[in-house]
Amino acid sequence: MADAVANGAKNAGAEPTVFTAAEFSADKMTAFDAIALGCPSMGAEELEETEFAPMFASCEPCLKDKKIGLFGSYGWGDGEWMRKWEQTCRDDGAILVCDSVICNEAPDADAVVSCEAMGSALANA
C-alpha cells in the first residue's frame, strides 16, 4: 500500500520517500509538505503497538496543519481503528486531504488504485 501511495505521488510530480515506522520520527515531519501514514490494525482494532503506535504518538504534536493521508489493513472487525485514528488526527489539527484507504487483509486492485489516488492528492495538496 505504501508503494502504491508513493507511485501515485511520483506520477503526480512529487518526489516521495518511503520509511518504515522504525525509520521515521517526529523530527522528519518538517521536511515534508504532506505525509501518508500507514498501519495495519492489531489486537482489538488498534494501531500496531510495538513500532508504529510509539512513532505516531511522538509525531502527534507535529500534526497541526499538516496535510496527511491514512491507509491500512485489518483482519477482523469493521475498520473501527481507522475511524478512531482519523479522529485522533483531526483532534491533533491534521488536515486529511482525502478519504482514508482501508482494506480487509491484503490490498486488492481497488485498494491499490485508491492508494495511488491518495499519493496524487498528497502531491497536489
DSSP-assigned states of every residue in 18-78: ---TTT--GGGGGG-SEEEEE--EETTTEE-TTTHHHHHHHHGGG-TT-EEEEEEEESSSS
Query: What local confidence, expressed as pLDDT, does residue 62 receive?
Result: 95
Distance CA 9, CA 5 (A): 6
Residue 113 has pLDDT above 80, yes or no: yes
Better-predicted residue by pLDDT, 37 or 46: 37
Residue 118 has pLDDT above 90, yes or no: yes
Q: What confidence tens digit (pLDDT) does each residue in 44-54 have?
A: 678 888 899 99
pLDDT-derived band at 85 (thresholds 50, 70, 90) equals: very high
Distance CA 91, CA 76 (A): 26
> What value does the mean pLDDT take over residues 77-96?
93
Q: What is the mean pLDDT of the chain?
A: 93
> What value does the mean pLDDT take over residues 101-125?
95
> What value does the mean pLDDT take over residues 63-82?
90
- For the whole model, what pTM was predicted? 0.94
Distance CA 15, CA 40 (A): 25
What are the CA-CA distances from residue 37 to residues 45, 84 (Å)? 16, 14
